[in-house]
Structure 1
Amino acid sequence: MIELQPNAKTPLYEQLYAALADEIRQGVLPPGSPLPGRRTMAAQQGVSVNTVDAAYQMLAAEGLAEARPRSGFYVQKTYGMLHPRRAAPAPAAEPHPAENAPLYDLSTGSVDTALFPARSWGRLQRELLYQRPELLQRGEMQGDAALRAQIAWYLSGYRGVCCTPDQIVVGAGIEYLLGCLAHLFAGSLAAIENPGYARTQAVLRNSGLACVPVDIDRDGLPAAALEQSGASLCYLTPSHHFPTGITMPATRRAELLAWAAARPNRYILEDDYDSEFRFDTRPLPSLQGMAGPDGPVVYLTTFSKSLAPGIRIACMVLPRPLLAQYRRDFAAYANTVGRFEQQTLCAFIAGGYFTRHLARIRLAYKRRMEAFAAALRAALPGVQLGAVHSGLHFLLTMPGAQGERAMVESAAREGVRLRGLSEYYLARAELCTPNTVVAGYSALRDADIDAVAAALAKAWNKPSESKG
C-alpha cells in the first residue's frame, strides 16, 4: 500500500501520482499491467475517487499509463522498451521531525480553517454560479461596484474609514496592491517600521522603491525619527503593530499626520491587517478616518485573517488625487480577483453573514488565547507574555533562557515551529528583547494547547511541577 501523508503540503493526488510513476519507472508495475480500478484504489488509500482519477490522468498525460475505454488505466506497453528497469535507489534516511512538517505550527501566517463559514459561503457561491452567468465576463478595473459599496459600508461602520465606494480598489492580496502603490510613488524613499513586516520591504524594493527602516518605540514609529529618515512615504501598522502588538495612541497618530501634512507628496500607507481581533477594548478608529477622504493616508486591509489566506481579496482606499493617477496608469488592467469571489463576498457582507462570522471567530480566538496563555504560564514558570489582548499572536519571553536562537531550535526538535523576534528586525537587531519568540495561535487546535505548552517546557528545560 502506498503511504500518503494527508497533512503534507503536497496534494494527495500529486503524492499518489509520484508514487505510481516511481513504481512504473522502476518496473515494479510492468508494461501492460492494469492499474487498480479508481474505486478500488480510493478504498485502499482512504481518498476520494476524484483524487485517484486526477493521479491517473497525470500518469496518462506523461505517457506512463493509457486509458482504455470501459476497461480502465494500464501501464503504457512501450514504456518498458523506452525506459529499461533501473535498480531502485537506496532509501533515504527518515528526516528528523524538525526538518519536516512540525507537529505544532505557531507561525503567524495561518488561520483555523475549521472556522471558515464553508456552508454559507459555498451556498452563496453556488447560487451565483447558476444565477449570474454575466459574472463570467470581465468586470470593472477597481473591482465590482456592488462589492466596493459593501466594503465602504463595513469600513465606515467598523473602522471609521471615511471614503466613498469609488475610492476603493480591490486586489488579490496586499502584496499586489503594494506593487501598484510603488508605481504611484516611483522615486520616493519609503520608511518601514523596525521591527516590522519584511515582506512589505521586499515587495516595495522589488517594485523599485528604496526603503529605510525606522526604529519604533513603545508608542510606535516616532514622527521625529521619520523626519530624520528623509522619507516621503511611510508604511505603518498603527492599530496592531506587527510583530510587537503595540497600539499607536491618538497623540502619536496626530504627530504622524502632521508630518505628512507638512510637505507636499508625503503619504502614509496604513495597513490595518487584523484590527478585527482586539479582545479587551474596541480598536481606535483608523488613521485614514482621522485624515479624511482626501488626506495623506492610503488605507489597506485584507480578508486573509477574517476569512482565509487562500481567498485572495484585499483592498485599498485611495485619496482622490492618487485615485486619478491610479485610474490613468492602470486603465488597461483587469481586476485580479475573480468576479464570483467578489460577488460571493459582496453577498456575504450584505446578508449579515460577515458580521456574525466575525463575532463567532473573535470569541473562538479569544477563548483559545486565554487557554493558551494559561497553559504556558502553568508550564513555564516566569514566562512573560506580551500583546496578549490583540491580534492572533503574542510575544513570549523566557527570562534565563539560552538565547532566542536556542529557544527556536530546541522548540523545533520538540515539533513546535515558531520564530524569534529578532527575525523581524530589518536593522539593528541588537535592540531586540532577548529570549523572545513570536507565538501565533490562530492555527493551533484547542486540543493541542496543553501538548504545545508541555513541548515548550521540555524544550526549554522547564518541566512542569508534579504534585505529590
Structure 2
Amino acid sequence: MARASVVDAYDELAAAGYVVARPGSGTRIADGADTAASAGAAPHVPTATPATAPPRAPRQTPPIWNLTPGHPDTALISTTDWRRAWRAAAAAPVASAPAGPDGHAELRLALSGHLRRTRGIVSEPDDLIIVPGVTSALRAVTAAAGLAGRDVAFEEPGYVEARRVLQMSGARTRSVDVDADGLDPGSLRDSDAAVYCTPAHQYPIGARLPAPRRARLVAWATEAGRLLIEDDYDGEFRYDVSALPALRSLDGGRDCVAYIGTASKVLTPSLRLTWLLPPRGLREPVAEALAFSGESVCTVTGLAFARFIESGALTRHLARASRTYAARRGALVGALKRHCTDARLVGVEAGLHLVLMLPDDTDDTAIASALRGRGITLPPLSSLRADPDGPRGLVCGYACLPETQADRVATAIADIVRQHVG
C-alpha cells in the first residue's frame, strides 16, 4: 500500500477524533474512541419479509437517443486542455469572498477578446458581468430596466424558461409570431418596452435573422429608448453560411442591447457560467441587482474558463466541435430526407438542433410520446408555444447523436409520424 494512502487514512481518523498524533511518540488511540465508534455504529435494521415488503417501483428505462436540444457532447472536450485549465485555476490563491458583479477580472479580459474575434463585439472587460446562468442575467436585466408591469415582446414559439423568468420578474410577455426569417420588427408595438430574441439561431425554429431586420430592430430600440435582449445561446455554430453580426455589434447596439452569451452550449451546462453585456446605461443598475440577489459564479470556475480561453483551448474546441456537429447534422438531415420523403426541415444552417415540421392538424405531443416508447426523447414544437394553436413539429437536437445512429433514429421517427399523419 502506498505511504500516501496510509497517511491519508490516519489523517481522517485524527480529524474524526479516533486517534491522537503526538510528535516524537507516534499515533495513539484517543480516549473514548471505542465508545464513540460504538455510538456511531449503524443500528441493525431487520430486513422486511416478502409479505410486508412494499412493491418495487418499475425501473425507468433511459432513452436510447436523447435528442432534447441544449445538450452539447462533452466527450469532444480535450481532457488534456480541460485538466490543464483547472490545475492552473486551482494553483491561484484562494479567494476570500465570492466574486461579485465586478469580479472575475481575468475571465472578463479573456471573454472581451473572444467576443471581438468570434462575434465582432467590441467591448471593454469592465463592460462584462459574469453570472451563473441565462435566467440570472434575465432577472437582473428585468430589474435594472424596470420592466415589471411593462410589455416585453417575446418570440413565438420561443424559449419557455426565458419567458417564465421574465413573467416571474413582473414583465408582461407579449407573443410575436416568427416567420422563416425570425422576428419581424414590423410586428413590434410602441407599447413594447423591450424585446427578447435569439437572432443567431431562433429558438426553436432556427431562423437566422437577416442583416436588414437586425438593423431595423436596433433602430426601433434606439429611437425610443427601448431595450433589446439578445440571447446568443449557440451563435458559435454555423454550417456553410457566413456569420451575421450580433445586434450588440451594430451601430447603436451598445446603448440598447443587453447581450447574453453562455458556456452551456459551447462546453457544458454544468459550468453554470454566462456572460452579460448590458447597455452602457444599465451596467451599474444590473450590477446592483446582482449584488442584492447574491448570485455569483465560483471563482475557481471563472479562472478555469479564463485559462481555457487564454490557452487557445476554446478556439481549438470550437473548431473540432463544429466539424463533428456539422457531420452529425448532415447525417441526420440526409436520413430524415430519405425516410420522411415529404419532410420539411428548418433551422439546419446553424446551432445544434433542427425542426421537422408537421401538418398543422398533427398531434405532435402524441408523436413525441410514442417516440419515447421507441427510446427517442425530443420535445414537440407545440410545447414551446404560449398559444396552443400554431405550427406543429419535432425539435431534434443532434449534438450527441452519432452519425452511425442517424439512420436508425430517422427510421423510427418516420415510422411514428406515418402512424399519426394521414
Which TM-score tier does this pair reach, normalised by the shorter chain?
A: 0.7 to 0.9
Match of residue 41 from structure 1: none
Partner of 1:21: none
RMSD, aligned α-carbons: 2.9
Shift of residue 120 of structure 1?
1.3
**Distance in 2 of aligned mates of 1:356 and 1:340:** 22
Describe the superposition over 1:294-334 as per-residue Cα deviations: whole angstroms up to 9, x where unpaired: 42111111010110011111011012211132344545665
Shift of 1:134: 3.3
Matched, 1:217 2:170: no
| CA contact 1:189–1:209 (8 Å) conserved in 2 | yes
* Residue 16 (structure 2) aligns with: none
SS at match of 2:269: coil
In structure 2, do the counterparts of structure 1 residues 84 and 239 end up closer, same or farther at CA, with 3 Å as the change threshold? closer
CA distance 1:192–1:451, shift in 2 (3 Å): same
Q: Are residues 1:325 and 2:285 paired?
A: yes
Deviation track 1:390-449 (CA, whole Å, cap 9, x = no partner) reads 11111113569954233222212211111211111122x4331x4x21111112234432
| Paired residue type of 1:128 | A
Unaligned runs of 5+ in 2: 1-32
Letter in 2 for 1:277: F
Q: Which residue of 2 aligns with 1:430?
A: 389
1:113 alignment partner in structure 2: 74
Q: Find the residue that maps to 2:371 and give its secondary structure.
A: helix
Do structure 1's residue 250 and structure 2's residue 216 form an aligned pair? no
1:134-154 residue CA offsets vs partner (Å, 9 max, x unmatched): 345443433311110111111
Answer with 299-308 or 185-194: which moved more. 185-194
Aligned with 1:189 (options 142, 151, 161): 151
Change (3 A) 1:171 1:376: same
Q: What CA distance in whole angstroms lies between the structure 2 residues aligned with 1:414 and 1:457?
A: 12
Partner in structure 2 of residue 17 of structure 1: none
Q: Is the 8 A contact 1:162 1:292 kept in 2?
A: no
Q: What is the alpha-carbon distance in structure 2 between the residues aligned to residue 92 and residue 138 of structure 1? A: 44
Q: What is the TM-score when the length of structure 1 is the normalising length?
A: 0.75
Given the alignment, which residue of 91, 100, 117 partners 2:55? 91
Instruction: Supply the AA of the counterpart residue of 1:242.
Output: Y
Give the distance between the partners of 1:388 and 1:306, measured in 2 at CA: 18
Letter of the aligned partner of 1:208 in structure 2?
A: G
Question: Residues 181 and 191 from structure 1, CA distance in 2 versus in 1: closer, same or farther, beyond 3 angstroms?
Answer: same
1:98-149 Cα distance to aligned partner (Å, 9 max, x none): xx422211111212121123331122212332x2123454434333111101
Q: CA distance change for structure 1 residues 216 and 460 in 2, over 3 Å: closer, same or farther?
A: closer
Q: Distance in 1 between matches of 2:172 and 2:358?
A: 36
- The question of whether the paired residues in 2 share the 8 Å contact of 1:291 and 1:297 is answered with no
CA distance in 2 between counterparts of 1:172 and 1:335 reads 7
Select the structure with the greater relative contact order (CA < 8 A; seq sep ≥ 6): 2
**Aligned-partner Cα distance in 2 for 1:217–1:448:** 31
Q: Aligned to 1:279, which of 239, 243, 250?
A: 239
Instruction: Give the percent of matched residue pairs that are identical in Structure 1 and Structure 2.
Output: 31
The residue type paired with residue 221 of structure 1 is: L
Instruction: Please give the TM-score of this superposition, normalised by the length of structure 2.
Output: 0.83
Question: Does the residue aligned with 1:315 lie in a helix, a strand or coil?
Answer: strand
1:444 paired residue number? 401
Q: Distance in 1 between matches of 2:48 and 2:84?
A: 51
Residue 389 of structure 1 aligns to a residue whose secondary structure is coil
Instruction: Give 1:88 shift.
Output: 3.9
1:454 has 2:411 as partner: yes
CA contact (8 A) 1:401 1:407 kept: no
Counterpart among 334, 346, 363 of residue 374 in structure 1: 334
CA distance in 2: counterparts of 1:376 and 1:157, whole angstroms: 35
Change (3 A) 1:87 1:355: same
Deviation sequence 1:243-287 (CA, Å, 0-9, x none): 1111111111122112112213x1100111101110112320100
Corresponding residue for residue 276 of structure 2 = 316
Give the distance between the partners of 1:291 and 1:86, measured in 2 at CA: 74
How many residue pairs match? The answer is 384
Give the gaps of 5 or more residues in structure 1: 1-66, 463-468
Map of 1:227 onto structure 2: 189
Matches of 2:115 and 2:360, distance apart in 1:
44
Letter of the 1:430 partner, please give it: D
Q: How far did 1:344 drift?
A: 0.8
| Paired position in structure 2 for 1:406 | 366
CA distance in 1, matches of 2:64, 2:52: 31
